[in-house]
């Protein structure tokens, strides 16, 4: 059985004070939830303080990105070891906004993935097609390239620990969620790809999250799909009530 994961990607939102306020409220509203993994990914500036607030709670800490080197002259960047140092257990890699605005490639994502795994961070690797690619009937082709380029070449033990997030770019921040059937179709395809690369046992244990306008009112139907193992939530993770409801999705 795959344990569900609900991860909040705060993106470039929340001051330190706002971050502390939100995680204090979430710690209270999500106290005692243990049958699903809960992750918050605040901006870098809030990681250290949020880590302190989350001690002893059921919520884990993640970062939104990391550099592909361990240290050195990379002005403005943050190393994976710095993330574990402040208590991060997870890191989001290859988010479509990183790919679109900062030119991240599958090769770079793969390099970051290897390094994250070496540093014992649990990677959440994002894949997803643009609207144009979907309209041209190229969704599976795009996903296959991203998975093969980004997620292949790992040891079996490493591959089992990877979390994949399917985030169709046209559904991010648009309020236009993929239908449960559209999402399930791609999740099933990704699991099949992982089976071809790593075998059935690993493919069946890898968790695949859906992201793109996940809200309190659509999470239950998404989670009813057999290959959807959780959510990577943007806007709706910034509000205590909506993220709480998402984490507490009701099993169909």
Q: Which residues bind ligand 13P (CB under 6 A)?
A: 9, 95, 167, 172-173, 211-214, 232-236
Output the DSSP codes for 101-137: HH---HHHHHHHHHHHHHTT-EEEEEE---HHHHHTT
Residue closer to ligand 13P, measured from CB, 108 or 246 = 246
Burial 61-89 (b: 16+ CB within 10 A, else e): bbbbbbbbeeeeeeeeebbbebbbebebb
Which of 95, 104, 110, 187 is the catalytic position? 95
Q: How far is the CB of 252 from ligand 13P (least distance, A)?
A: 21
Residue closer to ligand 13P, measured from CB, 97 or 106 = 97
Burial 23-53 (b: 16+ CB within 10 A, else e): beebbeebeebeebbbbbbbbeebbbbbbeb
Q: Is 110 noted as a catalytic residue in this protein? A: no
Q: Point out the residue whose Cβ comes nearest to ligand 13P.
A: 234
Q: Do the Cβ atoms of 207 and 228 come closer than 8 Å? A: no
Which of 97, 104, 133, 167 is the catalytic position? 167
Q: How far is the CB of 112 from ligand 13P (least distance, A)?
A: 16
Q: How far is the CB of 204 from ligand 13P (least distance, A)?
A: 24
Q: Is 104 noted as a catalytic residue in this protein? A: no
Residue closer to ligand 13P, measured from CB, 198 or 242 = 242
Q: How far is the CB of 132 from ligand 13P (least distance, A)?
A: 18
d(CA 89, CA 95): 17
Q: Do the Cβ atoms of 45 and 73 come closer than 8 Å? A: no
Residue closer to ligand 13P, measured from CB, 95 or 187 = 95
Residue closer to ligand 13P, measured from CB, 202 or 218 = 218
Q: How far is the CB of 157 from ligand 13P (least distance, A)?
A: 26
Grouping H, G, I as helix, E, B as strand and the rest as coil, residue 49 is helix
Active site residues: 95, 167
């Amino acid at each position: 059985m795959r344990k569900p994961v609900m991860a909040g990607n705060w993106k470039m939102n929340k001051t330190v004070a706002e971050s502390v306020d939100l995680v204090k409220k979430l710690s209270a509203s999500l106290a005692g939830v243990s049958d699903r993994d809960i992750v918050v990914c605040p901006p870098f500036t809030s990681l250290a303080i949020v880590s302190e607030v989350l001690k002893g709670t059921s919520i884990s800490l993640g970062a939104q990105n990391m550099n592909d080197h361990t240290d050195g002259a990379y002005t403005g960047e943050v190393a994976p070891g710095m993330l574990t140092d402040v208590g991060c257990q997870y890191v989001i890699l290859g988010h479509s906004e990183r790919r679109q605005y900062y030119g991240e490639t599958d090769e770079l994502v793969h390099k970051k993935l290897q390094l994250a795994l070496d540093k014992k961070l649990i990677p959440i690797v994002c894949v997803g097609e643009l609207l144009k690619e979907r309209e041209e009937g190229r969704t599976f082709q795009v996903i296959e390239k991203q998975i093969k380029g980004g997620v292949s070449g790992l040891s079996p033990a490493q591959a089992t620990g990877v979390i994949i997030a399917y985030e169709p770019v046209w559904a991010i921040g648009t309020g236009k969620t993929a239908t449960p059937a559209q999402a399930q179709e791609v999740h099933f395809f990704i699991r099949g790809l992982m089976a071809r690369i790593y075998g059935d046992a690993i493919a069946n244990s890898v968790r695949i999250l859906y992201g793109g306008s996940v809200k309190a009112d659509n999470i239950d139907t998404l989670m009813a799909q057999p290959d959807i193992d959780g959510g990577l939530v943007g806007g709706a993770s910034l509000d205590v009530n909506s993220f709480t409801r998402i984490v507490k999705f009701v099993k169909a």
